[in-house]
Amino acid sequence: MSPLLWTYFATVILLSIFGAHRLLLVVTYLRYRRRALPLPAPLTDDLCPRVLLQLPVYNERLVIERLLRHAVALDWPRDRLRIQVLDDSTDDTTGRCSRIVAEAKSAGLDIELVRRTERTDFKAGALRHGLTLDTNAPSGRSEFVAIFDADFMPAPDFLRRTLPPLVADDTLGMLQARWGHVNRNSNVLTQLQAILLDGHFVLEHGARFRGGHFFNFNGTAGVWRRQAIDDAGGWSGDTITEDLDLSYRAQLAGWKFCYLQALAVPAELPHDARAFKSQQHRWAKGSIQTAMKLLPSILRSKLSLRTRLEAFFHLGGNLAYPLMVILLAVLPLTLTLRVQDDLFLNLALDLPVFIFATLSLMVFYAVAERESAPSAWRGRIALIPLVLGLGAALTFNNARAVAEAVVGHRSPFVRTPKAGELSSEVSTYRLPLGFQAILETLAGFYYLGAAVYAVTRHLWLPLPFLVLFGAAFLLLGVGSITNPSVRTSGRTQAASSELPA
């Protein structure tokens, strides 16, 4: 067998391990269905503890007013709620939110606009600074801390629905709610992103919580017990996924986490290719940084073998992307080794990709959509092949992130631009282009050229993969170059806050 085929099969075998893990998550999720947390009854006033609501903000002029409207509308006793707008902005975001903060304060709400002289440690530094101010407040520090990013829109009863498990069980250190998607149907890219995130928030979080394994706070739409933050050593800025880092440190310190899948908090998906890739790059790089920081301690710990292995796949899952670089490079080249009438050889080349790298993911996302949208999932599963193509097209973006983490390349926290309700101003926070978009576009043409070659050779089995990957690379590459801000309207859609258990 040629070196090309050896490389191809070795890569597929390694990637199949990650695919098998996705199927294991599906099995775990379904096996422990009864462990799902139902939507709690709202907490009554007499049981409401003191809560600090932190709103970390950096240049969010398009969404800041919407965020503050939802924050001040939260249904919670005013003498037990403190709101911090942790504003590190360098544009007119501060001016836009200061009016609402002043109005809320004059109405009797304990709310403060917090500005720092230096943006040390980015979001982690802002949250840490806010906790220091809360500790030194005359009325004393808060027992619980809720956090929302600027594009989230919590319902008025969010705190009353999320605090009951934390109040009832003093071993719980954090509760995470599910993310909803208000602009899911804005364009093809947002539809595909929504399915990707549904897989994370339904099957990954759901399976890990139900299976008794570690999972993470997602940086927003969750509530922490203040003591858990302190016991874990507080917020740290030495990774760009400070939420993932703190989550694992808190669980290593003995705190349990809870996932409330039945409650979704509406949020906004990145509206264009550059914003989407920037977000994915940050998540991929930060997860590998956290893995390098914490995995040695996790693997040496006395945690169960299953929990340690799950932590490895969780924190190290993005290691699959360097393997994908190899697979995507050699897959079209294998066309030259195919013989039109040799069905056995062609099946040997195509079935491993289909079964291990494709079928497992199709099952994963199909189950996630069925669980998240029982009445709408059938209409969404037709998009799953495109989701897989999009995941493949992220290969260069996320492999670069992994490489940067491994070599220790430090980079600033890059916020993901949000469009909000002001569609005419979306370009305000447009990200730079970069060479990667050219590479993705060339990869798209590379795959479409391979598809044409396959047609001329009557090689039909690999054709769907070639066309799908080519179209996905062009979606990201050309989309990044043109960077269209496609929206159905200037209004966000309503999002359901509940999910059937």
The domain ranges of the chain are: 33-275
How confident is the model over 299-328, as a mean pLDDT?
96
CATH code of the domain occupying 33-275: 3.90.550.10
User: What is the pLDDT at residue 138?
Assistant: 85
User: What is the pLDDT at residue 433?
Assistant: 62
pLDDT tens digits, 398-432? 999 999 999 998 876 666 766 664 444 544 556 55
pLDDT at 494 over 60: no
Q: State the pTM of this model.
A: 0.91
Backbone φ/ψ region at 342: left (φ over 0), alpha (ψ -120 to 50), beta: beta
Catalytic residue among 149, 243, 272, 350: 243
Mean pLDDT score of the chain: 90
Q: Are 310 and 213 in contact (CB under 8 A)?
A: yes
Q: Are 267 and 179 in contact (CB under 8 A)?
A: yes
Q: Are 282 and 414 in contact (CB under 8 A)?
A: yes
3-state secondary structure 277-309: HHHHHHHHHHHHHHHHHHHHHHHHCCCCHHHHH
Q: Are 331 and 8 in contact (CB under 8 A)?
A: yes
User: What is the pLDDT at residue 492?
Assistant: 42
Q: Are 365 and 486 in contact (CB under 8 A)?
A: no
pLDDT at 487 over 60: no
Q: Based on the residue annotation, tell me whether 88 is a catalytic residue of this protein.
A: yes
pLDDT at 498 over 60: no
How is the chain split among helix, strand and coil, in percent rounded to 5? 60, 10, 30
Backbone φ/ψ region at 108: left (φ over 0), alpha (ψ -120 to 50), beta: left
pLDDT at 148 over 60: yes
Per the model's pLDDT, the better-predicted residue between 186 and 460 turns out to be 186
Q: Based on the residue annotation, tell me whether 243 is a catalytic residue of this protein.
A: yes
Element of type H or E holding 384: helix 384-393
pLDDT tens digits, 98-141? 999 999 999 999 999 999 989 999 999 999 999 999 999 888 89
The SS3 of residue 358 is helix
User: What is the pLDDT at residue 458?
Assistant: 86
User: What is the pLDDT at residue 352?
Assistant: 66
How confident is the model over 341-350, as a mean pLDDT?
65
Of the candidates 427, 160, 86, the residue with the CA atom closest to the CA atom of residue 274: 427
pLDDT tens digits, 370-406? 999 998 898 899 999 999 999 999 999 999 999 999 9
pLDDT at 70 over 70: yes
Element of type H or E holding 260: strand 256-267
Q: Sort 184 into a burial class: Cβ within 10 Å, 0-12 / 13-18 / 19+.
A: buried
User: What is the pLDDT at residue 401?
Assistant: 96
Catalytic residue among 88, 134, 151, 198: 88
DSSP, residue by residue, 161-188: HHHHHHHH-TTEEEEEEEEEETTTTSSH
